[in-house]
């Protein structure tokens, strides 16, 4: 090796692209491989979805303010979210743990309590895993398996100009919860006589520590007879995900600032921290809402669902990716979303 | 939490048992869950196998003497081995990486070269994963997916008294390779003018760094019309695996020391290090051979296959688990196999 390229120079997606660009597919059952929320495998009458996530202490979670039960719950939820984001139903998961000797059996039992609550809530079976020691810290690897009716899976690269961009629930809350927890942690570390002040902040703290995979959105779409043209989950902020959908689909977009769904609690918290709520929703991560595009003729079917907001529409590639401010001005839509290769 | 139980007091299998004993199964498609080499999921005409492994730098591998290309190859092979150990055919894998900033893109490209060589050799598709930074060291999580004809999967808990115990290839080599590498590393760290002396040791070094998942053994069994009564792969040494099969199946065993397959190269290396080759094969890990039990009437079908050794037979539970020495004496068979919760 003569030349050293820093991973940070490529970023997560650049690295994945670099490492996987020459993949050859051997099995007819491999319908969709690397590059979406989940892979798709054909199984005679149904298709299997598979998705995996690695969570590392100090990178993805901070045990100073994350109860282990919540962590177990969240580790499962973020994987189920990937299966729903393919328009599928999760059915099984595997969990691998790397644990340092800091963790007792009681601590791991708490972690598993959260795992089981999440599994039971979504009717998912824990079917396997691997457990070993880690030199330092806690490592959690979750793989989720799901199913989808043949060719009903929804990818990221199939949005079309004119499609409406929809987001479920509201965004920015998890980032504000993280901001609050990091602030309280700093205060506590400076003077541990001061106890954390989380009063009136249960919404944003819950968004951070106990995200919910949006099964009911998938159920609603099915009942309403809507197949999104493209979909993914919101793990890195609305901007980052809209740009993904645009880049992968070869389209542009117009996103309207005043349409971005932000809860009242998040808005208040943002003002308290001196942050712009819109920026939190656009660039904050870990909301685990669903973002999807639908055909204009499906608009009437979703308009009465208060859980779904239309935030804009797709345009042609030439028109670029734009954010339209409340004042009506155009700005380029950019992602400063959370980058797994930058230290938080 | 009032009471603290050390994970080491339960061991890996005790911990898994503790954490998974109350699992409820929700999906009819979940045929076999936690506790075997892989889970089994029903998919209309074929059954899907799924298995996962977590490899952590400093615990499972040492980059001082493990080339990244070999590590990528091995990470895939140990997972494919689990699918073969279920009598299945691997079809897809996912790979998640946690990487510190010590690793350049060139280094990761090398790792992936090994991953792709292993995938291509076994006709397996890489279909997804997750990549993020780790605070320290390299973390590799691999999930393998495979398929098996309905109800042709072979579990660990179905061996019967009277069954012959068979092992593919030879054992102990990987442990001896590890012993050699650790010794050379120590010498090098004490005086780095002394270059590693690996002359004539390519066999044991290869067994450690480049294990092969035993597809051809599964192919042979299929062609010979043999369905093993129980099977698993040898990752923790023959003793540990035989005891697993016995414990899970509720049977005893007699294993004959003089039948344990050990290569000439491994035997020579053991003598050089002052080790008993039998102990290395019984208690050394990472050989990734297959160990399985067959009915006595299938004996004639395997007797001419030089790659398969009959090392003993299963008895009733009451007869216990015995090792019969060359001198004809009985000893209790015990496992001092590699324990992921002890520091290597």
3-state secondary structure A1-24: CCCCCEHHHHHHHHHHHHHHCCCC
> Which residues are paired to B61 by β-bridges?
B57
Domain A164-332 in CATH 3.90.650.10? The answer is: yes
> For residues B287 and B174, is the Cβ–Cβ distance under 8 A?
yes
Q: What is the pTM of this model?
A: 0.87
Alpha carbons A40 and A49: distance in angstroms, whole number:
5
Q: Cβ separation of A145 and B50 shorter than 8 Å?
A: yes
- The DSSP output letter for A195 is P
Q: CA torsion A56→A59→A62→A67, rounded to 10°?
A: -40
Helix and strand element counts for chain B (H, E): 10, 13
Which residues are within 8 A (CB) of B14 and not within 5 positions of it... i.e. 6 or more apart? none
DSSP symbol at A104? B
Q: How far is A78 from A95, CA to CA, in rounded Å?
A: 13
pLDDT tens for A185-214 read 998 888 877 777 777 889 999 999 999 999
Q: Using 50, 70 and 90 to split pLDDT, how confident is the model at B44?
A: low
A80: helix, coil or strand?
A: helix
- The chain B residue lying nearest A58, using CA atoms, is B135
Which among A249, A261, A258 is positioned nearest to A315, based on CA atoms? A249
Contacts of A68 in chain B (CB under 8 A): none
Q: What is the pLDDT of residues B272-295, one digit of tens each?
A: 999 999 999 999 999 999 999 999
List strands edge to edge, sheet with A164-168. A230-234, A289-294, A164-168, A308-316, A251-256, A321-324, A330-332
ipTM of the complex model: 0.85
Closest CA to B124 of B155, B98, B89: B89
Residue A277 clears pLDDT 90, i.e. is over it: yes
Residue B332 has pLDDT above 90, yes or no: yes
Residue A122: how many other CB atoms lie within 10 Å: 22
Average the pLDDT over A30-41 and give the result.
Answer: 64
**Percentage above 90 pLDDT, chain B:** 58
DSSP label of A196: P
Is A13 or B10 the better-scoring residue by pLDDT? B10
**For the segment B59-86, what is each residue's pLDDT rounded down to a tens digit?**
999 999 999 999 999 999 999 999 999 9
CB contact under 8 A, B91 and A41: yes
- Range A165-172 average pLDDT: 97
CA distance A261 to chain B (A): 28
CB atoms within 10 A of CB B308: 24
Find, among A207, A181, A171, the residue nearest to A279 by Cα: A171
The secondary structure of B71-93 as a DSSP string is HHHHHHHHHHHHHHTTT-EEEEE
How high is the pLDDT of residue B335? Answer: 80
Q: Read off the pLDDT band of B342 (50, 70, 90).
A: very low
Which residues lie closer than 8 Å to B251 by C-beta, 6 or more apart?
B159, B160, B161, B163, B245, B314, B315, B316, B317
Q: Cα separation of B36 and B83, whole Å?
A: 10
Per-residue pLDDT tens for A108-132? 888 988 998 998 899 888 888 788 8
Candidates A128, A236, A286, partner chain B, best to mutate (most B CBs within 10 A): A128
> What's the pLDDT at A341?
45
The shortest CB-CB distance from B19 to any of A39, A109, A124 is to A109
Nearest CA to CA, how far is A167 from chain B (Å)? 24
Cβ contacts of A58 on chain B, cutoff 8 Å: 135
Cβ contacts of B128 on chain A, cutoff 8 Å: 33-34, 36, 38-39, 50-52
- Over residues B165-187, the pLDDT tens digits come to 999 999 999 999 999 999 999 98
Write the CB contacts of A290 (distance below 8 Å, at least 6 apart in sequence): A81, A84, A85, A167, A168, A214, A217, A218, A231, A232, A233, A234
Tell me which chain B residues have a C-beta less than 8 angstroms from the C-beta of A120: 24, 26
Q: Are the CB atoms for A308 and A302 separated by under 8 Å?
A: yes
Copy the structure tokens of residue B93. Answer: 């894998």
pLDDT of residue B123: 87
CA A110 to chain centre: 24
SS3 state of residue A78: helix
Distance between CA A206 and CA A74 in Å, rounded?
A: 11
Which residues in chain A have their CB less than 8 angstroms from residue B139's CB?
A: 54, 56, 98, 139
Distance from CA of B121 to the nearest CA of A (A): 11
Specify whether the CB–CB gap between A209 and A66 falls below 8 A.
Answer: yes
Residue pointed to by tokens 């893109």: B105
High-pLDDT (> 70) share of chain A, %: 88
Query: What is the reported pLDDT for B288?
Result: 96
The answer to whether residue B121 scores a pLDDT higher than 60 is yes
Ranked by mean pLDDT, the top range of B33-37, B52-56, B262-266 is B262-266
What is residue B154's predicted lDDT score, i.e. its pLDDT?
92
DSSP E strands, chain B: 30-32, 39-43, 46-56, 89-99, 125-133, 139-148, 164-168, 230-234, 251-256, 289-294, 308-316, 321-324, 330-332
Q: Terminus-to-terminus CA distance in chain A, angstroms?
A: 30
With a CB-CB cutoff of 8 Å, which residues 66-95 of chain B face chain A?
91-92, 94
- Sequence-distant (6+) residues with CB within 8 A of A321 are A242, A243, A246, A252, A253, A255, A332, A333
pLDDT exceeds 60 at position B153? yes
> Between chains, do B19 and A48 touch, taking CB under 8 Å as contact?
no
Task: Output the CA–CA distances (angstroms, integers) from residue B167 to A48, B281, B308, B330, in the order listed.
Answer: 34, 11, 6, 21
Contact list in A for residue B24 (CB cut-off 8 A) is 120
Q: In this model, does residue B39 exceed pLDDT 70?
A: no
Nearest chain B Cα distance for residue A154, angstroms: 16
> Is residue A298 packed enough to be buried (19+ CB in 10 Å), middle (13-18) or exposed (0-12)?
buried
3-state helix, strand, coil in chain B (%, to 5): 35, 25, 35
Residues in contact with B329: Cβ distance below 8 Å, sequence separation at least 6, in sequence order:
none
Burial class (CB in 10 A: 0-12, 13-18, 19+), A109: middle
Mean predicted lDDT score pLDDT of chain B: 87
- Distance, in Å, from the CA atom of A57 to the CA atom of A137, rounded to the nearest integer, reads 6
pLDDT tens sequence across B209-268: 999 999 999 999 999 999 999 999 999 999 999 999 999 999 999 999 999 999 999 999
Give the integer Cα–Cα distance in Å for A118 and A303.
30
User: How far is the C-alpha of A83 from the C-alpha of A41, rounded, in Å?
Assistant: 13
- Write the DSSP string, B253-307: EEEEGGGS---HHHHHHHHHTT--HHHHHHH-----EEEEEE-GGGHHHHTT-TT
B7-148, CATH topology level = 60s Ribosomal Protein L30; Chain: A; (3.30.1330)
Chain B positions in Cβ-Cβ contact with residue A233 (cut-off 8 Å): none
The closest alpha carbon to B310, from B163, B174, B207, B175, belongs to B163
Q: Kindly determine whether residue A105 and residue B32, on different chains, have CB atoms separated by under 8 Å.
A: no
Task: Determine phi and psi for B130, rounding to 5 degrees.
Answer: -150, 140
B324 with B229: CB under 8 angstroms? no
pLDDT class for B196, splitting at 50, 70, 90? confident
- In angstroms, the CA A138 to CA B185 distance is 28
N-to-C CA span, chain B: 30
Q: Answer whether B133's CB lies under 8 Å from A36's CB.
A: no
Domain ranges of chain B: 7-148, 164-332
Beta bridge partners of B125: B92
Token digits of residue B168: 């593919």
């Amino acid at each position: 090796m003569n030349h050293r390229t820093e991973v940070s120079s490529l970023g997560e997606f650049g690295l994945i692209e670099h490492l996987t660009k020459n993949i050859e597919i051997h099995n007819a059952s491999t319908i969709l491989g690397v590059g979406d929320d989940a892979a798709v495998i054909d199984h005679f009458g149904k298709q299997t979805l598979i998705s995996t996530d690695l969570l590392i202490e100090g990178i993805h979670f901070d045990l100073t303010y994350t109860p282990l039960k919540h962590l177990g719950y969240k580790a499962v939820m973020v994987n189920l979210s990937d299966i729903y984001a393919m328009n599928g139903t999760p059915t099984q998961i595997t969990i691998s743990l790397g644990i340092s000797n800091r963790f007792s059996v009681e601590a791991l039992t708490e972690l598993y309590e959260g795992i089981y609550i999440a599994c039971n809530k979504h009717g998912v079976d824990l079917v396997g895993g691997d457990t070993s020691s880690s030199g330092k810290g806690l490592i959690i690897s979750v793989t989720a398996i799901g199913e989808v009716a043949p060719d009903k899976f929804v990818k990221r690269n199939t949005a079309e100009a004119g499609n409406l961009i929809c987001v479920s629930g509201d965004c920015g809350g998890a980032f504000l919860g993280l901001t609050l927890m990091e602030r309280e942690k700093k205060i506590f570390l400076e003077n541990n006589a001061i106890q954390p002040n989380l009063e009136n902040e249960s919404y944003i703290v819950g968004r951070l520590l106990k995200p919910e995979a949006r099964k009911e959105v998938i159920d609603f779409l099915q009942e309403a007879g809507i197949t999104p043209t493209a979909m993914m989950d919101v793990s890195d902020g609305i901007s980052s995900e809209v740009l993904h959908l645009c880049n992968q689909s070869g389209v542009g977009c117009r996103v309207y600032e005043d349409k971005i769904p932000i809860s009242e609690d998040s808005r208040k918290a943002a003002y308290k921290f001196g942050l712009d709520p819109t920026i939190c929703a656009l660039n904050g991560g870990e909301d685990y809402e669903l973002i999807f595009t639908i055909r204009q003729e499906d608009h009437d079917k979703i308009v009465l669902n208060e859980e779904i907001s239309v935030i804009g529409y797709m345009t042609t590639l030439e028109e670029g990716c734009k954010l339209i401010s409340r004042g009506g001005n155009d700005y380029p839509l950019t992602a400063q979303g959370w980058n797994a290769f930058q230290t938080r």
